[in-house]
């Protein structure tokens, strides 16, 4: 397991005077988690990250511990890694997301704005470009931008916060499935369908398509895991 190198420039403290160094490190690592820059093979070690960022070790460790306490990382004797969820954990997450996300998407559709729809459209275009180049991380970043664009149109921020947390915890699912070209193509197709429903302001279609996309993600994840188990058994 390797230590994940930083691919995102660190924020200069003077540029964001309202944020502490710990907050900046936390925001940077959360952004990398969202974009898929941190994989299940990576290990985050506080003193190594501190050296890369040219900051002291303590704020980095505090940021990592905060991510651990929020369930985004797991602590080990040699650093922090992505959580190792059981199949039951994944099933529970999808069950809750299916209860919340489709309804939230319908509310977002009701409250949609031109700029939000524009951001969703650009994200789909970027996702398609990344898919054609087999750029998995680029696709994940664009997919995240699409999701954030419609989530920003959900007026109930407490609801949005809960959904954000659940989606963050499901990062292991995206890392496992979006590597597959066929699944990524299917994901892109469903994303386009969701966008089309938003543009038409068809709340029922938005709700149905978001739910269908979640079910497809769950099915693809389980199929991937079964295939891996079969390969190991062979």
**By the 8 A CB rule, do 207 and 121 touch?**
no
Q: Which residues contact 75 (CB under 8 A, 6 or more apart)?
A: 65, 68
**By the 8 A CB rule, do 45 and 3 touch?**
yes
Measured distance CA(24)–CA(127) in Å, rounded = 27
Measured distance CA(199)–CA(165) in Å, rounded = 27
pLDDT at 11: 45
83-87, 140-144, 164-168: range with highest mean pLDDT = 140-144
- For 79-135, how does the pLDDT look when each residue is reduced to its tens digit (9 = 90+)? 999 887 787 888 898 999 999 999 999 999 999 999 999 999 999 999 999 999 999
- Tell me the pairing of strands 42-43 and 79-81: unpaired
- For 53-73, how does the pLDDT look when each residue is reduced to its tens digit (9 = 90+)? 999 999 999 999 999 998 889
pLDDT at 171 over 60: yes
Q: What is the DSSP letter of 11?
A: P
Average pLDDT estimate for 19-39:
84
Measured distance CA(198)–CA(106) in Å, rounded = 9
Farthest-apart Cα atoms in the chain, separation? 56
Q: Which domains does the chain have, with CATH numbers?
A: 2-81 (1.10.10.10), 87-233 (1.20.120.530)
């Amino acid at each position: 397991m390797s230590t994940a190198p930083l691919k995102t420039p660190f924020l200069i403290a003077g540029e964001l005077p309202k944020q502490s160094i710990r907050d900046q490190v936390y925001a940077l690592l959360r952004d990398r988690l969202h974009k898929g820059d941190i994989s299940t093979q990576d290990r985050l070690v506080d003193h190594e990250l501190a050296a890369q960022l040219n900051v002291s070790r303590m704020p980095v460790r505090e940021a990592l511990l905060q991510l651990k306490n929020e369930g985004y990382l797991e602590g080990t004797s040699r650093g922090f890694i992505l959580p190792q969820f059981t199949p039951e954990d994944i099933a529970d997450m999808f069950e809750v997301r299916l209860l919340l996300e489709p309804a939230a998407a319908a509310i977002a559709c009701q409250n949609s704005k031109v700029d939000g729809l524009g951001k969703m459209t650009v994200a789909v275009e970027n996702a398609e470009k990344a898919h054609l180049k087999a750029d998995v991380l680029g696709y994940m970043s664009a997919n995240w931008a699409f999701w954030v664009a419609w989530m920003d149109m959900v007026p109930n921020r407490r609801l949005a916060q809960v959904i954000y947390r659940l989606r963050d915890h499901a990062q292991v699912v995206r890392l496992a499935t979006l590597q597959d070209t066929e699944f990524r193509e299917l994901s892109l197709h469903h994303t386009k369908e969701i966008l089309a429903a938003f543009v038409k302001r068809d709340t029922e279609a938005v709700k149905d398509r978001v739910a269908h996309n979640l079910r497809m993600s769950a099915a693809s994840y389980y199929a991937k895991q079964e295939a891996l188990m079969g390969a190991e058994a062979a």
